[in-house]
Structure 1
Amino acid sequence: MTGPRTEATAGELRAAGLRVTAARVALLETVRAGDHLDAEAIASGVRERVGHVSLQAVYEALRALTAAGLVRRIEPSGSPARFEGRVGDNHHHVVCRSCGAVADVDCAVGDAPCLTASEGHGFSIHEAEVIYWGLCPACSTSGST
């Protein structure tokens, strides 16, 4: 592990109370460089950076990084869990019904209004998750449904 980005990533892991390993640094950097990757794609990216790592180790590290708030897990219906490095800003997602592509969508009305539910049922709400469904530009022009 070398380089300023890698050292910064290691510092973030330490600040979150997590043990710093080459695999965790590679995993966090892979998630941040990727685009809503699933665990298998993340494992492949980690392997390119540090060599062998088991899929189970990737799942365990993703669980720890998600719990620490360094990674966000999203679970579009009918799709494996996806992970992203964009955290803490209450953004949403758009998912293609045909190919499964996922893209970020900023909250249309700002941060706090998205957290104001029409009925909170006594809950203290910290996050809103909205998923828009449709067809991506490529699938729209190819006639996919």
Structure 2
Amino acid sequence: MKSVREVQRLSSKIKRSAIAILTREDYSWALSFETDGDAEDWLNVVLLEHQKRGDAKFFTSPGIHKQIRSDLKADQYDVYPVCPMAYTPLGDFHGECLMVLTPETIHLLDAGQPTCCLATWQMKQLKKFQLNSRCLSLEVGK
């Protein structure tokens, strides 16, 4: 896992239900799966494992929620596995999620299904940002 630089979900135009793996030594190979769902499930497992090891630049998939796809193409983002305890007008969020930080927005995605965007906040709407050894607190509003 240490030599893996990037894992990509290949589009169906290139190869149906496939994952491309790129290593730091510029070696690559593709894995094919029976269904697109199997390919996405495998990608999600590898993504979460890689995130636990601390490499945040690993999130490339055509299945990413369309709302954040343009932000991610700029390669100016970080992805962090989080377990939010959020109570918002958009709903209550508990459990494993992915927090995607871009220069302009914060996206909260379902970790098990990254195509599902739970919430999005604009950085300019941040009223309060607090970080300590156990907790990250964000307060968003006008």
Q: TM-score, normalised by structure 1?
A: 0.30
**Greater gyration radius:** 1
Greater fraction helix:
1
Q: TM-score, normalised by structure 2?
A: 0.31
